Amino acid sequence: MNGDSAVQGWHLDKRVSVGHLITTLAVIGTLIAWGISVERRMTKAEVEIEHLINDTVEIKESVRDSMTEIKTALRDINLRLDNILQEHGQFKRGN
């Protein structure tokens, strides 16, 4: 084993082949395209989430309004029943 064979064991070529350049550019282009598509999907998801939040708020308000109407109608029915029972003498408060 002489010193010359040890130096020649590892050799790095300083030239860059066209194939390596094309491959590297293709990988970079693919990563950029992927990043853009992820950004589009994120934006679309954010918009859809915003719509869902707005729809949920509207549904809650609608349910709240409906519950208020139902409570009012039930009070009205209760008063009418009380009046009918009082007219027939069958209503006794406290029972």
Average pLDDT of each block of 10 consecutive residues along the chain (95 residues)? Answer: 58 84 96 96 97 97 97 97 86 56
Angular region, 24: left φ>0, alpha ψ -120 to 50, beta rest: alpha
Q: Residue 71: which domain range?
A: 17-87
Report if residue 6 sits inside a domain. Answer: no
**pLDDT of amino acid 9:** 73
pLDDT for residue 6 = 52
The answer to whether residue 79 is domain-embedded is yes
Contact criterion met (CB below 8 Å) for 82 and 91: yes
Which amino acid belongs to residue 34?
W
> Count of domains in the chain?
1
Residue 94 lies in a domain: no
**pTM attached to this predicted model:** 0.54
pLDDT (0 to 100) of residue 4: 54
pLDDT of residue 3: 52
> Three-state DSSP class for 6?
helix
Rounded Cα distance between 58 and 31, Å, is: 41
Query: Helix or strand or coil: residue 10?
Result: coil
